[in-house]
């Protein structure tokens, strides 16, 4: 097949890399791609959110399938335009992508579908938002309603911090239109995990579980980022949990969307909080754990409308079989359980970031050590470009280094060994990826 991957980050590199490993030799393209993707796909100088040029190029070049990586093009309507051009697309139309593009819409869908989640209220008025805070206790979560590149969420430990976050979004306009509304939301205790569900409009097949690391520093300290690492599978999710997630979370949302005339094709990403011990102490708070107001031990923290990043870099190396066929069947309403094959591997991903991220950071730093190879590892490019005959940094998250193995310890050790062999000025990473899982014994 001729397949176009829309996007240019680590997630898109992982998608193109995995497609290149199918038994069938696909002709792969990326728009715009990045320096690393050049090894597996032809990069096209068109931005992923160009909803006019990209569908036109795909039609002119006989593309059989488009896989959309980032959320912004989906919210903008790229899938709609591709569908109008008669091109199969793995990714929801704009109406479906609202489940990520508007957190208030996601809460509305969850409420209508009976999906367990924390209580929340939506505000545009600063004083009304602050007045609601005492009813939520501490910690409390403040979220920008719209897309904020993974940075529009503040977990406030004090009322002062919560008020400052509300001011930051509604008064200082830090996130622009994305922060014109804010959610004040119940803090959910427990352990997070991510589930990527492939959806074909009627059916859903779950990909292997994973756990992301959002905070920038070890020990889950510092501000939220786009993700500093991930591993798969997440031991907090067992087979019974997966059935619950499929039957009580994913499918009710698919059906609720369809009842509103939204036929959802693509990835439905469920960010979940699993509370295994509701009566025990919380590892993140002096307050005791408790079941969320929903009464469920598994609650939805958020929905996304696309592959997660960096979860994709940890999950896709574990996927076998014909990946392109699975994507195409989901895009065209023919998905089956047999389309998803899971290899007997464990994976861990470490993000190498630029000094200053998630705040301001420098670009253009030469990267060394990319040519070294190591068993059971692969390097995905997140924010790089070619310059002066080499590859340089071009983003906050620069590289995603994945290790695989028969055990999590082996996967983690391989990932860090490969990560340590790579160099650029200002490089840093978390050193505790998967520590919670490894500590379970």
pLDDT higher than threshold 80 for residue 441 = no
The average pLDDT across 359-379 equals: 95
Q: Answer yes or no: are the C-beta atoms of 3 and 26 closer than 8 Å.
A: yes
Residues in a beta bridge with 379: 401
pLDDT bucket at 223, cuts 50 / 70 / 90: confident
**DSSP assignment letter at 77:** T
The mean pLDDT of the chain is 94
The average pLDDT across 224-239 equals: 94
- Tell me what pLDDT residue 287 has: 41
- Domain 191-342 sits in CATH at 3.30.470.20
Question: Which tens digits make up the pLDDT trace of 34-77?
Answer: 999 999 999 999 999 999 999 999 999 999 999 999 999 999 99
- Tell me what pLDDT residue 284 has: 40
Q: Please give the model's pTM, rounded to 2 decimal places.
A: 0.94
- Dist CA 245 CA 264 (whole Å): 17
Does domain 346-438 correspond to CATH entry 3.90.600.10? Answer: yes
- Tell me what pLDDT residue 276 has: 76
Q: What is the topology classification, in CATH, of domain 2-91?
A: Rossmann fold (3.40.50)
- Tell me what pLDDT residue 388 has: 85
∠ CA 429-431-432 to the nearest 5 degrees? 125
For the chain, give the percent of residues with pLDDT over 90: 88
- Tell me what pLDDT residue 290 has: 56
- Tell me what pLDDT residue 198 has: 98
pLDDT higher than threshold 90 for residue 113 = yes
pLDDT higher than threshold 50 for residue 327 = yes
Question: Which tens digits make up the pLDDT trace of 407-423?
Answer: 999 999 999 999 999 99
- Tell me what pLDDT residue 286 has: 37
Q: Do domains 191-342 and 346-438 have the same CATH topology?
A: no
More confident of the two residues 288 and 353: 353
Query: Among 2, 88, 54, 15, which residue's Cα sits nearest to residue 331?
Result: 88
- Tell me what pLDDT residue 278 has: 57
pLDDT higher than threshold 60 for residue 381 = yes
Q: Could you state, in order of their start, the residue ranges of all structural domains in the chain?
A: 2-91, 120-186, 191-342, 346-438
The average pLDDT across 233-249 equals: 94
Dihedral over alpha carbons 356, 359, 362, 363 (to 10 degrees):
120
pLDDT higher than threshold 50 for residue 119 = yes
Q: CB within 8 A of 388, min separation 6: which ones?
A: 366
Domain range 120-186, CATH architecture? 2-Layer Sandwich (3.30)
Task: Decide: residue 84, CB within 10 A, 0-12 exposed, 13-18 middle, 19+ buried.
Answer: exposed
Residues in a beta bridge with 268: 197
pLDDT bucket at 296, cuts 50 / 70 / 90: confident
Question: Which tens digits make up the pLDDT trace of 122-178?
Answer: 999 999 999 999 999 999 999 999 988 767 889 999 999 999 999 999 999 989 998
pLDDT higher than threshold 80 for residue 238 = yes
Question: Which tens digits make up the pLDDT trace of 95-111?
Answer: 999 999 999 999 999 99
- Tell me what pLDDT residue 220 has: 92
Question: Which tens digits make up the pLDDT trace of 266-292?
Answer: 999 999 999 976 554 444 443 444 567
Q: Strands, E, within 244-395: which ranges?
A: 265-274, 298-304, 319-320, 341-342, 346-353, 377-381, 384-387, 390-393
- Tell me what pLDDT residue 281 has: 43
- Dist CA 122 CA 105 (whole Å): 10
């Amino acid at each position: 097949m001729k397949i176009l991957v829309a996007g240019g980050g680590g997630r898109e590199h992982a998608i193109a890399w995995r497609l290149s490993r199918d038994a069938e030799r696909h002709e792969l393209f990326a728009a715009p791609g990045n320096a690393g993707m050049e090894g597996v796909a032809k990069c096209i100088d068109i931005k992923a959110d160009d909803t006019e040029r990209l569908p036109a190029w795909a039609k002119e070049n006989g593309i059989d399938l488009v896989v959309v990586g980032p959320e912004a093009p989906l919210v903008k309507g790229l899938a709609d335009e591709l569908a109008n051009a008669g091109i199969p697309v793995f990714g929801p139309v704009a109406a479906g992508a609202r489940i990520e593009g508007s957190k208030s819409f996601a809460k509305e869908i969850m409420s209508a579908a009976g999906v367990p989640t924390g209580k929340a209220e939506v505000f545009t008025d600063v004083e009304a938002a602050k007045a609601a805070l005492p009813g939520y206790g501490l910690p409390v979560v403040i979220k920008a309603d719209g897309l904020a590149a993974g940075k529009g969420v503040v977990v406030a430990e004090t009322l002062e911090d919560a008020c400052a976050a509300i001011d930051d979004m509604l008064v200082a306009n830090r996130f622009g239109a994305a922060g014109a509304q804010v959610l004040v939301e119940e803090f959910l205790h427990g352990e997070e995990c991510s589930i990527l569900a492939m959806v074909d409009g009627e059916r859903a097949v779950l990909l292997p579980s994973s756990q992301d690391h959002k905070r920038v520093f070890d020990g889950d300290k510092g501000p939220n980022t786009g993700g500093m690492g991930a591993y798969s599978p997440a031991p907090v999710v067992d087979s019974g949990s997966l059935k619950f997630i499929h039957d009580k979370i994913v499918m009710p949302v698919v059906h609720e969307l369809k009842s509103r005339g939204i036929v959802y094709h693509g990835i439905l990403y469920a960010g979940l909080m699993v509370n295994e011990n509701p009566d025990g102490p919380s590892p993140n708070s002096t307050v005791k754990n408790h079941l969320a107001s929903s009464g469920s031990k598994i609650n939805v923290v958020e929905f996304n409308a696309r592959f997660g990043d960096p979860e994709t870099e940890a999950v896709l190396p574990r996927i076998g079989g014909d990946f392109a066929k699975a994507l195409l069947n989901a895009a065209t309403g023919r998905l089956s359980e047999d389309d998803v094959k899971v290899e007997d591997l464990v994976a861990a991903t470490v993000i190498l970031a630029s000094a200053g991220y998630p705040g301001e950071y420098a670009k253009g730093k030469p990267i060394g050590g990319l040519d070294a190879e190591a068993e059971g590892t692969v390097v995905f490019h997140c924010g790089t470009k070619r310059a002066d005959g080499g590859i340089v940094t071009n983003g906050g998250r620069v590289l995603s280094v994945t290790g695989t193995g028969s055990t999590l310890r082996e996967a983690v050790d391989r990932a860090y060994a490969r990560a340590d062999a790579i160099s650029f000025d200002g490089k840093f990473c978390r050193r505790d990826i998967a520590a919670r899982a490894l500590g379970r014994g």
